[in-house]
Amino acid sequence: MNYLYHLIRKYPISCILIAIIWVLCFITPPHTRLDNVPLMDKWTHIAMYGGTCTMIWIEYMKCHEKTNAMRLLCMAWLAPVMMSGVIELLQAYCTGGRRSGDWLDFAANGIGATLASVIGILLITYHARRQKASAEDTNCRNGGRR
């Protein structure tokens, strides 16, 4: 329970987005005119997972000065992709036919998480370069003294 509180405190927006994904994946979607747009469902999955995983990267950077690449990869890419697979299996076998598990949805979710990881890596690289430049600038102003 303490770990869950810690996650919610450090990653509030990410936790809200994950909860929204779970709700959206198990309600019966209403029919709209957008149903006629080719692959609209897949684009929606890419956007949901891309946005959520990008937020995980951003909140991680906000909470940690040093990056643990393996932990971040597991938390911001692997865990959402695994969650996606679990959701698709639950939709296929536990919704009584209201929802169907679709492996193309799983692929779209993976694409969204992967795109978010690329964005996250670029953000972390930019942030690290900025910190390094700032530290060098401070060092120069101090005459090389620390």
* Mean pLDDT by groups of 10 residues along the chain of 146 residues: 90 97 91 87 96 96 88 94 97 89 95 96 88 78 63
126/118 Cα distance (integer angstroms): 12
Asked whether the beta carbons of 101 and 88 are under 8 A apart, the reply is: yes
Q: Which residues contact 90 (CB under 8 A, 6 or more apart)?
A: 26, 101
- pTM, two decimals, is 0.86
104/8 Cα distance (integer angstroms): 30
Please state the domain extents for the chain. Answer: 2-21+41-141
87-128, pLDDT tens digit by residue? 999 999 998 888 888 999 999 999 999 999 999 999 988 988
